[in-house]
Amino acid sequence: MVTRDSPWPAGTPCWVDLGVSDTHKAIAFYTAQFGWDVRQGGPETGGYSIAYLDGRTVAGIGPKMGPPESPSAWTTYMATEDADATAAKVKGAGGQLLTDPMDVMDVGRMAIAVDTTGAAFGIWQARAHTGAQLANAPGTVTWNEQMSRDFEGAKAFYAAVFGYAYGDMSGDGFSYATLLLDGHEVGGIGGYPDDAPAGTPAAWTTYFGAADTDAAVAQAVKAGGRVIRPAADSPYGRTATVTDDQGAVFSLISMPPGE
C-alpha cells in the first residue's frame, strides 16, 4: 500500500479517470465494484466526481470528452512539473494533443495527448489536487501499462517525453518492458502478441487491485460488465481484464499471498 499527499514525481502515472456517457450509472457500478465513496462535483466541475477509499482520493469519474460516439474509457495521467513544456515534448516526439494545456480551476493544469502508436494519455501538473492519495491496495490503482503494435516506437516516444529508461522483460513471443525513473518501476510498456485480435487499438490500461480477482470478475459481470480476458495466474498475481457496464476496459490483479 502506498499513501501520498504531495505531487508525484514527474513521469509517474499519478491519476486515472473514467469518461462515460452516464456518470450516475458509472458511480453505481464502481461503488459496488470497489467500495468507493464517490463525491459528486458541483456544476462548476462539469459533473466531474472524485472517488475516495478510506478517506483518500483514488480516481475520477466524469462525462467523456469528444464526440458522442467516443467510447467510454479510463485515462492514465502522467505527472509533470510543467504541462506546457511536456505538451511541447509530445509534439516534438511525433505525438498529438487532443486537448491543449489548460487550467482546471485551482486544482491543476492538464492536457490530453496521443502517442505515436495512437494511445491516449493525460498530463497532470498538480496544484491543489496532487493525484492519487492511495495506491497499490485493493480498490486502487496498482499498475498502468501501454500496449501497441509498435513496441520500439512507443519506447522511443516515451523516453523522449518523460525520460524513461527501460527494464526489458521480453521473451519468446512477447515484448514487454518496465518504465524506469531513477531506477524505480513506475509502469509498463509492451507489444501486442501476434495472436491479438486484428484492430485492437493501442491503449493505456489501468490495473486495479483486488482482494480476490475471481470474485471481482464475477461482481463486474453481475453488474453488467463483460470478460475480455479471464482470470489467470501470473508471476505477479492473478489477473483479468473486464469492462464496466458502459464498455470501459480495466484490468484486475490480486497479489500473491504475503506480497
Pair (68, 181) in one structural domain: no
- For the chain, the domain total comes to 2
Pair (183, 244) in one structural domain: yes
Q: So what's the pLDDT on residue 257?
A: 58
Grid look-up 491543476 returns 108
Among 79, 113, 134, residue at a domain's last position = 134
Pair (12, 104) in one structural domain: yes
Q: So what's the pLDDT on residue 47?
A: 84
What is the tens place of the pLDDT at every residue in 173-188? Answer: 889 999 999 999 999 9
User: What average pLDDT does the structure give for the chain?
Assistant: 94
pTM: 0.95
Pairing mode, strands 237-243 and 227-234:
antiparallel
CATH, residue 14: 3.10.180.10
What is the tens place of the pLDDT at every residue in 18-60? Answer: 999 999 999 999 999 999 999 988 788 888 999 999 999 999 9
3-class DSSP assignment, residue 217: helix
Pair (8, 70) in one structural domain: yes
Among 88, 116, 134, residue at a domain's last position = 134
- 259 part of a folded domain: no
- 195 part of a folded domain: yes
- Beta bridge partners, 174, equal 171
Q: So what's the pLDDT on residue 158?
A: 98
- Region 129-145: mean pLDDT is 97
Pair (113, 161) in one structural domain: no
- Region 224-239: mean pLDDT is 94
First to last CA, the chain: 10
pLDDT for 1 beyond 60: yes
What is the spatial distance between Cα 38 and Cα 174, in angstroms, rounded to a whole number?
38
Instruction: Find, among 98, 199, 187, 77, the residue nearest to 149 by Cα.
Output: 199
What is the spatial distance between Cα 108 and Cα 124, in angstroms, rounded to a whole number?
7
Q: Which domain holds residue 169?
A: 135-254
Pair (68, 151) in one structural domain: no
- 76 part of a folded domain: yes
Pair (142, 62) in one structural domain: no
